[in-house]
Amino acid sequence: MGVYMERLPKYLARCGVASRRKAEDLIRDGLVAVNGEIVQEPGCKIEPGHDRVTVRGREVFPEERLVYLLLHKPAGYVTTVRDPWGRSTVMDLAPEKAVRLFPAGRLDLDTTGLLLLTNDGEAVQALTHPRHGVAKVYEALVKGVPRRGTLTKLRRGILLDDGPTLPAKVEILTVKEGNAILRITVHEGRKRLIRRMCEAAGHPVLDLKRVAMGPLALGDLPAGKTRPLTPTEINGLREIISGGGERKSRQKKGS
């Protein structure tokens, strides 16, 4: 992964200086300097945390420290910041209390696995917006063992009540006491998608875990625990934000 570069107007907006459009005006007016040099091109890019940016001679910094925590969500927790019925939420598992975090996307109450907690709204958008087509990988214990024809239907797209699914990658990992564990990769985020796909195929889900999402992987993180993202994972998120890195990667692979 390369160094993350950010457009100067976007950085100024994150610092609370002005909106991106107003920040562009400040740059054109010669009021912004990078490493002591006046910059008047709004398309200029800087390396956050490395380049020194000043506005009217005063150095500016992002208003909020960005936090990225990967959580292994256990069953029985709702994926919300607060729950009106007093149920346990994924935020109860977050060690960061000084910063307001929120989950990127949702996992059902009984679904376990990878969930990102962050205060970076653009990272949330990168992982969840349909235009990015970020891969979401699940391991699903289903009732019975799907036949080859059923697997083909799931891979090509299966008709649900809200329309056909996009092509998916589906493989049988193992068979356990007459039930199969499937590894399913999808690039859409419809509600209860994996459960509905398997139900429509005649193999209801008995247990479901998300093991990867975009550049993030659950690995051996214990249930209920969190860990900070690595610099490589953060750069992966930023590549998606800046240029649709996930979609480009899939196109290169011919998927």
Structure confidence at residue 98 (pLDDT) = 57
Domain assignment present for 1: no
108 is catalytic: yes
pLDDT over threshold 70, residue 54: yes
Structure tokens at 181: 């564990």
Instruction: Count the domains in the chain.
Output: 3
209 lies in the same domain as 221? no
pLDDT digits (tens, 9 = 90+) for 153-196: 999 999 999 999 999 999 999 999 999 999 999 999 899 999 99
152 lies in the same domain as 199? yes
Domain assignment present for 81: yes
Mean pLDDT to the nearest integer, 117-126: 85
Domain assignment present for 11: yes
Structure confidence at residue 19 (pLDDT) = 78
Structure confidence at residue 2 (pLDDT) = 53
157 lies in the same domain as 40? no
Compute the distance between CA of residue 193 and CA of residue 165 in angstroms, rounded to an integer. Answer: 9
148 lies in the same domain as 209? yes
pLDDT over threshold 50, residue 253: no
197 lies in the same domain as 76? no
Question: What are phi and psi for residue 86, nearest 5 degrees?
Answer: 75, 15
Structure confidence at residue 244 (pLDDT) = 52
Mean pLDDT to the nearest integer, 54-81: 90
Domain hosting residue 233, numbered range: 68-131+216-252
144 lies in the same domain as 204? yes
pLDDT over threshold 80, residue 213: yes
pLDDT digits (tens, 9 = 90+) for 73-94: 999 999 998 889 999 999 999 9
**Domain boundary, last residue among 59, 87, 104:** 59
**Domain boundary, last residue among 15, 33, 59:** 59
Structure confidence at residue 17 (pLDDT) = 83
CATH code (residue 161): 3.30.70.1560
127 lies in the same domain as 225? yes
pLDDT digits (tens, 9 = 90+) for 28-50: 999 999 999 999 999 999 988 78
11 lies in the same domain as 46? yes
Structure confidence at residue 3 (pLDDT) = 64
CATH code (residue 28): 3.10.290.10
Go through 89-116 and write b for each residue having 16 or more CB atoms within 10 A of its CB, e for each that does not. Answer: bbbebbebeeeebbbbbbbbeebbbbbb
The number of C-alpha atoms within 13 Å of 5 and in the hemisphere containing its C-beta is 7
55 lies in the same domain as 157? no
More confident residue, 17 or 152: 152
The catalytic position among 51, 83, 108, 207 is: 108
122 lies in the same domain as 221? yes
Domain assignment present for 124: yes
Structure confidence at residue 252 (pLDDT) = 46
103 lies in the same domain as 220? yes
Of 94-103, 174-183, 242-251, give the lowest mean pLDDT range: 242-251
**Domain boundary, last residue among 15, 30, 59:** 59
**Does residue 168 contact residue 157 with C-beta atoms inside 8 Å?**
yes
